[in-house]
Amino acid sequence: MNSNDSKLSVTILGSGTCVPSLKRSSCSLLMRAGNNILLFDSGAGTMRRLLEAGVEIFEVSFIFYSHFHPDHTGELVPFLFSNKYPEGSSRKRPLTLAGGTGFLKFYENLKLAYGHWIELNPDLVNITEFDNTCHGTRRFDNFKAETIPVEHNPESIAYRITGPDGASVVYSGDTDFSDNLIMLSKGADLLICESALPDALKVKGHLTPSQAGDIAKRANVRKLVLTHFYPECDQADIEKECRKTYSGPLVLAEDLMAIDI
């Protein structure tokens, strides 16, 4: 086993929102845990960005959803449909789809709308839910996934992934200020945190750069990545706002950016 077999790595696929943008695709994150390829959310443009990152859809073995808003789930249907072409023969490894409480119903409703066009061979797909009311821990193959409810939608959860090498990455999904997110992020190597709008444009259910920095500081994370930028963020000094509360290593996400852990 060489060192790459156990390494955890992260690439931002979509650093944007529901707003159409050539620069920022809707939300999605690519993670490699040894030989497993994980996606977190799959907003519009995910499959195109995956190709640009050099990954085929058939290689993806897990998709974890933070919540069901269309800018985070919109490309699930096209992803499943594409996995059936040509005749589903290209997918060899099972695909696990996971989300908070209600995800099974969400998936069943998609099947009511699209029928067999999005149904993969039952041997190749697992659907699972995480409890949206408490901290949860689940082992998958060579990595561990912990979840905790956050402040956005009833089903919203944040994820902490611990890779085979022991490195840990937290993905906030969408959230307002959250003590749970601080708890989940304690001492993490990387916190990928939403920072939807500048400080002056704070809205309920989302974080600003200084709030995300505050969470990172309280959790004592080793590195903070801000993402999920509405266009207003590109007109503001996001780094300066985040520096009001956080002085550690900081990255502002861009599509296709690989993040060192």
Residues that bind Zn ion (CB under 5 A): 69, 71, 174
Radius of gyration over every alpha carbon of the chain, rounded to an integer in angstroms: 17
**Would you say how long the chain is, in residues?**
261
- Nearest approach, Cβ of 35 to Zn ion (angstroms)? 30
Largest Cα–Cα separation, the chain: 53
- Nearest approach, Cβ of 47 to Zn ion (angstroms)? 18
Q: Based on the number of CB atoms within 10 Å of its own CB, is 157 exposed (0-12), middle (13-18) or buried (19 or more)?
A: buried
Six token digits for residue 82: 């594409």
Half-sphere exposure of residue 225: CA atoms within 13 angstroms, side-chain side: 26
Residue 217 backbone phi and psi in degrees, to 5 = -65, -50
- Nearest approach, Cβ of 88 to Zn ion (angstroms)? 30
- Nearest approach, Cβ of 15 to Zn ion (angstroms)? 11
Q: Where are the beta strands (DSSP E) in 106-244?
A: 125-130, 136-140, 143-149, 157-162, 168-171, 190-194, 224-227
- Nearest approach, Cβ of 155 to Zn ion (angstroms)? 10
- Nearest approach, Cβ of 37 to Zn ion (angstroms)? 22
Q: Which is nearer to Zn ion, 139 or 204 (CB)?
A: 204
Q: Which is nearer to Zn ion, 71 or 155 (CB)?
A: 71
Residue identified by tokens 């943008």 is 21
Strands 60-64 and 8-14 come out as unpaired
